[in-house]
Structure 1
Amino acid sequence: MATKPRIAKGTRDFNSQQIAQREYIFSTIKSNFKAFGFAPIETPSFELSETLLGKYGDEGDRLIFKILNSGDKVKKADLKALEEGQLARFSNSLSEKALRYDLTVPFARYVAQYQNDITFPFKRYQIQPVWRADRPQKGRFQEFYQCDADAVGSDSLWQEVEFIQLYDAVFTDLKLEGVTIKINNRKILAAIAERIGAQDKLIDFTVALDKLDKIGAEKVKEEMLLKGIPSEGIQTLEPLFNMVGNFDSQLNALKLILGSSEVGTEGISELEFISNTINSLGLKTATLKLDVTLARGLNYYTGAIFEVSAPAGVAMGSIGGGGRYDDLTSIFGLKGVSGVGISFGLDRIAMVLEELNLFPENSNQAVQVLFANFGSDESLYSYKAIQSLRSNGIIAELYPEASKLKKQITYANKRNIPFVVLVGDEEMFSKRFTVKDMKSGSQESLNFQELLACLKTNTQ
């Protein structure tokens, strides 16, 4: 019995139009990465499980796709752990490798592994797929691309300033105006946790707070209570859930809430530098906004954190995010190397551009001209012209069979090919080409140079 063709949940097939649109986003992001001085690297699609596990917190670890051991290695499974109900330990014994959850931890492993070959500060970009065993929903997939840029080896806050400028440059080039770059600082969150008596539950606190825009304040409070955060402390958080005003007024409110907290004062000082510098430099189309509830639940962030939201009116989660991590490479034995990085959510950006109709009209166009096939002699004459057109940057093809002209014209229409060239005895004798404009229906006879000029003018 034939197998029904289907794909796994959380994954997608892409047609040529969608790929063309994605390539438009890729090329825009990549050109800006290069303009800002980032160099490309690539890492394997899977890493050793020990490289990934324990770097993202309990919730992140739960979403890591593990690769089942094969052959004799399966026999090494920890059956005692299974008997004792230690499912996590049993699962880990079945798997030595896992698909990467993000690009940041593999990058930290890369830096530590090749530290003697790297010149610091090291600026890299990476555009590759990642995998997460998350529940599929709108804008959230189990396989998706991340487009990351990171800089390691410098504590300077100018790095944060540059990443905000990079976000602004990319979204401006994509014509996606009006995005909001939200910023906070994990040091401020640490001070808040200290203020409410939850300093020993910082991870639980930030993971719960990070869900504020998804589940609302009441559910966040319930989750904090379940994690053992004192109810009186949660009441102290109330002003944070509804904090409004501009950047400076929110910082002033934070100063009152945090009092003399050393770590909180440090975080506020960092945000003030970033805000003041961005105000002096300016942004093209984006807006920088302080969001004191922004937490980004990943464990490795230690300073500024970012999240980018789509323009108002577009129902979509974050389309970018990142932050500073001061100690990530130490888990691989390389201490004292600070880093900061951001990521662009390709798939969500594509959905936003589609919704707002912001893809260029020609981004979906592939073949620019189709040569109709009327037989062997005509095809040979046409193919010589096709070779010359291709060498001049024109995407051209010959219909493979000498079918009825109506069939060939229908093929061109279905593929949105803007021009069809007709070659018969008369065209070969006069060394010309009859060019049909598929949009207007008009035809004209041109020599090769005129044909080339026509195609360059009307299709590029």
Structure 2
Amino acid sequence: MANNTSIPKGTRDFGPDEMAKRNYIFDTIKKVYALYGFQQIETPAMETLQTLLGKYGDEGDKLLFKILNSGDFLKSASDEELMARNTLKLQTKLSEKGLRYDLTVPFARYVVMHRDELQMPFKRYQIQPVWRADRPQKGRYREFYQCDADIVGSDSLMNEVELMQIVDTVFTKFGIRVQIKINNRKILTGIAEIIGEKDKIVQITTAIDKLDKIGIENVNQELEKEGIPTEAIARLQPIIQLSGTNDEKLATIANVLADSKIGLKGVEETKYILEMLKKTALHNEIELDLTLARGLNYYTGAIFEVKALDTQIGSITGGGRYDNLTGIFGLSGLSGVGISFGADRIYDVLNTLDLYPKESVTGTQVLFINFGEKETGYILPIAMQARQAGIRTEIFPDAVKMKKQMAYANAKHIPFVVLAGDNEIAQNKVTLKIMETGEQLVLSAEELLERIK
């Protein structure tokens, strides 16, 4: 009978080698966050639908994984309601909870619930999985990790500057060349104003955010479907196809938005961030991209997106300013700004470009061969000394044939093997075999540890 065991599409298992790589990613990001004074929190995998719905726009709401109520989940729905098959109405009857879509909305909920305990501004980071009922494809998963950093309780644009420094530092440490794209939702609102379609800012930004993926013609078709007049679409073309240096783009868009107060505010904010970043000597390019919209409705100011330059795997980091997100939960006037590293996409980029440092994915460093009870009793204290010295050490548990134990070392890419038989025990020494070269050395315990370290 065939074995049909499988996992859901868009999810993955991670073995020891993969976990070593993922931990390298998480540890690198954690260390950079800590350098900038961020503290770690965690929130539950599930939130109430009341918390989640309405925070991500219509498209985001469709991608939420809903959890059926426990027990008889049909008890609240009448036969008439079930027969009517009204999905939206039934949803409220059958499900009260959902898997979190991102880490930002749960963080906003956390801030509101714990506001009396927090020191403002509060700088937190959070590394946990999120879930989206999306169509799986390369670089896009239904379950994936985000590595978020957010600052709440401060309006200062220095927070945006600091977050861009974090992005630059992280990818420099990874050895990934990236382009950091920046825009401002106030600029996009200003653009909607000057083309006479202020009420359709969400539809406009959602469409132009897809420019890189579907091209200008398809974007224009989407705008038409959303009821944007042909004249307004025509006025939009030179704006979204603007080119030149960041300073040139800012000067041009400032002229275009001369009659939009909110648009000019966005230009002013963007100019400040870019000017301050010039003083930090970033290793990676930062570009003002007026087509960058970030589909999430809660962004109100600066928005960011990061793409790898040497491989085609979509956005690997994103974020922005959200001045009123906590207001949805009853705490108004608390500004926030954050970024999210897409750990799974970064994992794919590092794999594609083979950028993992050898030491970051090395498991066991030394294997002690098991020749029997007497020999094991001799090597046990030496193995303990190795571990106390920070050397990752194994003793093969069974006194099986040497060939099998060496095959184990080869399969696990263990660089050093230690043997101790009657001759070594008589000399109070061990034999070290260097697997890469085949060289063998007879050493004391102290010499062994020094050589491996």
In structure 1, how many angstroms separate the alpha carbons of the residues matched to 2:95 and 2:15? 34
| CA positional deviation for 1:282 | 2.1
In structure 1, how many angstroms separate the alpha carbons of the residues matched to 2:359 and 2:35? 24
CA contact (8 A) 1:208 1:224 kept: yes
Gap runs ≥5 in structure 1: none
- Of stretches 399-408 and 85-94 in structure 1, the one that deviates more from structure 2 is 85-94
Question: Secondary structure at the residue paired with 1:182?
Answer: strand
| CA positional deviation for 1:78 | 5.7
Percentage of pairs with the same residue: 54
CA contact (8 A) 1:78 1:89 kept: no
Task: Say whether residues 1:226 and 2:225 are aligned partners.
Answer: yes
Task: Say whether residues 1:299 and 2:297 are aligned partners.
Answer: yes
Number of residue equivalences = 453
Which of residues 304, 308, 332 is equivalent to 2:306?
A: 308
Name the structure 2 match of 1:169.
169
Task: Say whether residues 1:455 and 2:452 are aligned partners.
Answer: yes
Structure 2 counterparts to residues 155-304 of structure 1, below 5 A: 155-176=155-176, 178-283=177-282, 285-304=283-302
What letter is aligned with 2:71?
Answer: G
What letter is aligned with 2:218?
Answer: K
In structure 1, how many angstroms separate the alpha carbons of the residues matched to 2:39 and 2:324? 22
CA contact (8 A) 1:197 1:229 kept: no
Name the structure 2 match of 1:346.
343
Q: What whole-Å deviation, never above 9, does each CA across 1:175-226 have from its counterpart, x for those lacking one?
A: 22x3111000000111111222221121111111111111111111111111
CA contact (8 A) 2:64 2:100 kept: yes
Task: Say whether residues 1:42 and 2:39 are aligned partners.
Answer: no
Q: What whole-Å deviation, never above 9, does each CA across 1:80-132 have from its counterpart, x for those lacking one?
A: 44444521221232111100000000000000011111111111000000000
Write out the 4+ residue segments of structure 1 that deviate beyond 3 Å after TM superposition.
78-85
What letter is aligned with 1:64?
Answer: L
In structure 2, how many angstroms separate the alpha carbons of the residues matched to 1:365 and 1:163? 31
| CA positional deviation for 1:6 | 1.3
What letter is aligned with 1:186?
Answer: R
Task: Say whether residues 1:441 and 2:438 are aligned partners.
Answer: yes
CA contact (8 A) 1:375 1:402 kept: yes
What letter is aligned with 1:397?
Answer: E
Name the structure 1 match of 2:20.
20
CA contact (8 A) 2:417 2:432 kept: yes
| CA positional deviation for 1:393 | 0.7
Structure 2 counterparts to residues 75-114 of structure 1, below 5 A: 75-77=75-77, 80-114=80-114
Please, what TM-score do these two structures have when normalized by structure 1?
0.96
| CA positional deviation for 1:281 | 2.6
In structure 2, how many angstroms separate the alpha carbons of the residues matched to 1:110 and 1:131? 19
CA contact (8 A) 2:48 2:98 kept: yes
Q: What whole-Å deviation, never above 9, does each CA across 1:260-316 have from its counterpart, x for those lacking one?
A: 100101000101111111112321x111110000000101000000001112x3111
Two-structure CA RMSD over aligned residues (Å): 1.3
Name the structure 2 match of 1:11.
11
Question: Secondary structure at the residue paired with 2:279?
Answer: helix
Name the structure 1 match of 2:401.
404
What letter is aligned with 2:392?
Answer: I
In structure 2, how many angstroms separate the alpha carbons of the residues matched to 1:82 and 1:201? 35
In structure 1, how many angstroms separate the alpha carbons of the residues matched to 2:336 and 2:344? 25
Gap runs ≥5 in structure 2: none
CA contact (8 A) 2:183 2:292 kept: yes
CA contact (8 A) 1:217 1:241 kept: no
Please, what TM-score do these two structures have when normalized by structure 2?
0.98
Question: Secondary structure at the residue paired with 1:434?
Answer: strand
In structure 2, how many angstroms separate the alpha carbons of the residues matched to 1:282 and 1:81? 61
- Of stretches 121-130 and 228-237 in structure 1, the one that deviates more from structure 2 is 228-237
Q: Give the 3 Å change call, closer, same or farther, for CA 259–78 of structure 1 in structure 2.
A: farther
CA contact (8 A) 2:194 2:259 kept: no
Question: Secondary structure at the residue paired with 1:208?
Answer: helix
In structure 1, how many angstroms separate the alpha carbons of the residues matched to 2:184 and 2:313? 23
CA contact (8 A) 1:11 1:143 kept: yes
- Of stretches 77-86 and 63-72 in structure 1, the one that deviates more from structure 2 is 77-86
Question: Secondary structure at the residue paired with 1:335?
Answer: coil
